[in-house]
Structure 1
Amino acid sequence: MPTLILAIAELFGTALWFTPNAVLPELMALWSLAPSDLGWLTGAVQGGFLLGTLIIGLTGLADRLDASRLFAACCLLGALSNALLPMAGGLDGAVTLRMITGLCLAGIYPVGMKLMVGWTPGRSGLGLAWLVGMLVLGTALPHGLRAFTALDDVTLSWRGGIWSASLLAVLGGIMVWRLGEAPRQADAAPGADSGTKPGPNSGHGLRLGGLSAFGISNFRHAASAYFGHMWELYTLWALLPLMLAARWPSLTTAELAFAAFALIAVGGPCCWIGGAFSARLGSRRVAQFALAGSGLCCALYPLLSGLPAAGLIGFLALWSALAVVDSPQFSALSATACPANIVGSALTLQNAIGFAISMLSLLILIPLWQITGPWLAWLLLPGPLLGLWCLHGYTRY
């Protein structure tokens, strides 16, 4: 039951992240924004998240404070900043509010992972798979909303959509507040999930926050593999609508949005399936399989982009699923490599670096689509290859 509560609360809390994406046309009309202004709106929340994860990861707040209370407080503040968005009055106010929302999300997503690790001792790969699967569905949700509101006979209040997301975040915060902290795992040996042993620096306290985790060999390998995975994941998701539009230029807005929603959302249940396999095979093997699979898709896509409709949609769905199945397993491997007193800070800092890499990948690669077309997939390939190489050094005992 705690696993389900945390997974649903994570979905509700992270709804703040993506919901405004579904109403960008309405915001553009309301504030007379140019298309170039949208980068500020979408980038502000990412920048806030990056700043927040760096603060939490470096100061050790996720391990110094009651994680469930921190999660709940961030849900409430994030819900408020999101609810105020329709009253922002223009781009400057909206960017400020989205930055605040991003800061709050830093206390929701990675702190939720710490809570899940605490509530699922010995099976964190499965628990985190449920949590990340919910995040994947949240990522796909704006495309689903956009497909729905693009239908000719549907008229919805865009303000109501934003406020509904804030209400969900409040409910998520209340759920975790009532759940509270997991039973103390301080005496549990790190590595119970994957059979790993703490590194030589596992006795480090919180003086360096999450930085001390990089003194642990297995954490470095798992985190570095995660960084390679992040080079590919979000850029792939951003490319999916472009890939579809390039293959079928006649798609309507609703059709394109629904297809993008389906291709991203498929990763949610696939994460849950991967979590079930991790309980039997271990997180390392599941992550290696997914990295190899997504890397192969990167290599093959330029050669297969002309497939018939059913074949290409199936290929893109497989690629999208493989690219995210390993995400919770990296976090499980990182968590089990660390002593309990720095897990929250280590995971938060890992997220900070990973999302910085994803932002860099988006900024560098997306503009190249107009030049390279399908061959851009080969520039995603170094991510999975780096991940495989790093996981090879993850020690099994």
Structure 2
Amino acid sequence: MALNTPLAAAAADAPVPRRILPVITVSQFASTSLWFAVNAVMPDLQRELGLPAQAVGSLTSVVQMGFIAGTLVFALLAIADRWSARLVFLLCALAGAACMVAAALLPPSWTLLLALRGLTGFFLAGIYPVGMKIAASWWTRGLGNALGLMVGALMLGTAAPHAMRALGTHWPWQQVMLCVAALAAAGGLLLYALVPDKPRPPRPAGLHFTGLSCIWRDVKVRASAGGYFGHMWELYTFWVLVPAIVGTRLAGAAQSWMSFAVIGLGAVGSVLGGLAVRRLGSTRVACCFIACSGACCLLSPWAIQASDAVFALWLFAWGFTVSPDSPQFSALTAANAPREAVGSVLTLVNCVGFSISVLSIELFVRLAQSVPLAQLLPWLGLGPIAGLVLMRPLLRARH
């Protein structure tokens, strides 16, 4: 055993090939485009299948529920620890792409779409978290910057289907979904081909149930988890509602490009937030972003009625600030949780957070059918407000 220690240390200190971070980032972007693919073609689906307006909420929620189930299964079985993480990433990217191909080519039906979107969410649990794990296996130093790029890639991947819809305004919706499938499959193949497994033996982890009590017993873990829960009340619901908000001013390709820009700006915020952590720390960065996005929620009644320039500035500011706090909440939770239970704690916190997002999406999308957006959107601010209140112990600790 002692002989392995210097070798492990040498492996950890070995320089990381320059291609690794760009390849993982591009692959993460390409494969997470599966997440909101249906949202970009929802008007077409509504016309063809006669779906109600609130169907977009149900189709998004079932992806979230699939992701929750997937993260639990992957954690319980320690899949990415027992087998090659890059192989898991590849197989899940290909399986998610196959779900998109099936949705595009099989006779469309509401039941089929729900089932395929749920499976897509399940396979995303082998893409986004596993991509983060692969990045973490290569960096012992500078991981914060790498994870900032990973989360930024997720934001761009989430926005990508809107760009495809804008580029192919006259395409049938099936062609957009096939393009997303091709992009996701290419991301999995790229990572598998160019990112080797880290030369250290895998160690099955599983869930550490005994360490989970820190989520409600440890003040610091409870604070960062609470901040994350407030963040999740707002984040995915905002992303779902972005096309509707933009649709109050724009239509067609312009609406799709604007939706892409608003969601994609979160990638810029994530990268800049990761850089700011070196000077300000994760607590201040997370609180700054969640406070700004909460302010955008509360400004909704005024901004929606404002001039086009003010409206665009408000929406871009919201897109920029709504997501970059996510990696900082996770970093804080990981730093304060017991070492032997970090994976289990993060898994449970993520599952609770995504469950909150399902509740929020269903509630707000249904209410949006009868309540004007100017009156509805400020209530998204309840999440950021609660998150800031719950983060107070960490803010006090810094002082």
Q: Is the 8 A contact 1:59 1:209 kept in 2?
A: no
User: 2:229 is matched with which residue?
Assistant: 227
2:155 is the alignment partner of 1:136: yes
- Structure 1 position 347, deviation (Å): 3.1
Correspondence 1:162 to 2:177: yes
Whether 1:384 and 2:384 are equivalent positions in the alignment is yes
Once the 2 structures are TM-superposed, how far is the Cα of residue 386 of structure 1 from its aligned partner?
2.0
The one-letter code of the counterpart of 2:161 is P
Cα separation, 1, equivalents of 2:302 and 2:277: 32
Q: What residue in structure 1 maps to residue 271 of structure 2?
A: 272
The CA deviation at 1:84 is 2.3
The CA distance in 2 between the partners of 1:296 and 1:20, in whole Å, is 29
- Please name the residue that 2:7 is paired with: none
Q: Does the alignment pair 1:45 with 2:60?
A: no
Pair 1:318 & 2:317 matched: yes
Q: 2-side partners of 1:104 and 1:173: how far apart?
A: 12
Find the aligned partners of 1:134 and 1:393 in 2 and give their Cα distance: 31
Consecutive unaligned residues of structure 2, counting only runs of 5 or more, are 1-17
CA contact (8 A) 1:11 1:138 kept: yes
Instruction: In structure 1, give the amino acid aligned to 2:179.
Output: S
Partner of 1:365: 364
| Counterpart residue identity of residue 70, structure 1 | V
1:190-339 aligned at under 5 Å gives the runs: 206-208=207-209, 211=212, 214=215, 217-246=219-248, 248=249, 251-338=250-337
Q: Which residue of 1 aligns with 2:8?
A: none
For residue 290 of structure 1, report the CA deviation from its aligned partner. Answer: 0.7
DSSP 3-state at the match of 1:371: coil
CA contact (8 A) 2:163 2:260 kept: yes
Aligned AA for 2:269?
C
**Secondary structure of residue in 2 paired with 1:34:** coil
Matching of residue 97 in structure 1 with residue 122 in structure 2: no
Q: Does structure 2 conserve the Cα–Cα contact (< 8 Å) formed by 1:111 and 1:344?
A: no
- The answer to whether the 8 Å contact 1:3/1:120 transfers is no
Do residues 111 (structure 1) and 130 (structure 2) align? Answer: yes
The two structures have a TM-score, normalised by structure 2, of: 0.81
Report deviation, 1:173.
Answer: 2.5
Residues 64/209 of structure 1: CA separation in 2 closer, same or farther (3 Å cut): farther
Q: Could you report, residue by residue, the CA deviation over 1:356-377 in whole angstroms, capped at 9, with x for unpaired residues?
A: 1111112122333432541323
CA distance in 2, matches of 1:317, 1:304: 12
Secondary structure of residue in 2 paired with 1:15: helix
TM-score scaled by length of structure 1? 0.81
Q: Which amino acid in the other structure matches residue 184 of structure 2?
A: A
Aligned residue identity for 1:208: F
CA–CA separation in structure 2 for the residues paired with 1:23 and 1:296:
30
> Are the counterparts in 1 of residues 159 and 259 from structure 2 also a CA contact under 8 Å?
yes
- Output the CA distance in 1 between the equivalents of 2:82 and 2:168: 44
Question: Percent identity at matched positions?
Answer: 38
Count of aligned pairs between the two proteins: 373
Cα distance in 2, alignment partners of residues 138 and 205 from structure 1: 29
Inter-partner Cα distance in structure 2 for 1:381 and 1:71: 35
CA contact (8 A) 1:226 1:330 kept: yes
Q: Is the 8 A contact 1:15 1:168 kept in 2?
A: yes
Aligned-pair CA distance for 1:226? 0.9
Give the aligned partner of residue 21 of structure 2.
Answer: 3
Structure 2: distance between partners of 1:219 and 1:65:
30
User: Measured at CA, do residues 274 and 230 of structure 1 come closer, stay the same or move farther in structure 2, by a change above 3 Å?
Assistant: same
Q: Secondary structure at the match of 1:35?
A: coil
SS of the aligned residue for 1:138 comes to helix
Report how far residue 55 of structure 1 moved: 2.7
Structure 2 CA distance, aligned partners of 1:38 and 1:304? 24
- Equivalent position of 1:201 in the other structure: none
Q: Is the partner of 2:299 in helix, strand or coil?
A: helix
3-state SS of 2:239 partner? helix
Helix, strand or coil at the partner of 2:305 = coil
- Alpha-carbon shift at residue 64 of structure 1 (Å): 5.0
| 1:160-203 deviation line (CA, Å, top 9, x unaligned) | 443333333333323443524557699xxxxxxxxxxxxxxxxx
| Match status 1:125 vs 2:127 | no
- Are residues 219 and 176 of structure 1, via their aligned partners in 2, closer, same or farther at CA, if it must alter by over 3 Å? farther
What value does the CA root-mean-square deviation take over the aligned residues?
A: 3.2
CA distance in 1, matches of 2:316, 2:259: 10
What SS does the aligned partner of 1:128 have?
Answer: helix
Q: What is the CA-CA distance between 1:287 and the residue it aligns to? A: 0.6
Q: What's 1:55 paired with?
A: 73
Shift of residue 56 of structure 1? 2.9
Question: Of 93, 100, 108, which residue of structure 2 is paired with 1:75?
Answer: 93
Q: Which residue of 1 aligns with 2:167?
A: 148
Listed one character per residue, the Cα deviations across residues 198-252 of structure 1 (whole Å, up to 9, x for unaligned) are xxxxxx9744298466365533322221110011112222333333444x3xx33
Q: Within 1, Cα distance between the matches of 2:338 and 2:199? A: 16
- Retained in 1: the 8 A contact 2:98–2:181? yes
Instruction: Give the 3 Å change call, closer, same or farther, for CA 228–62 of structure 1 in structure 2.
Output: farther
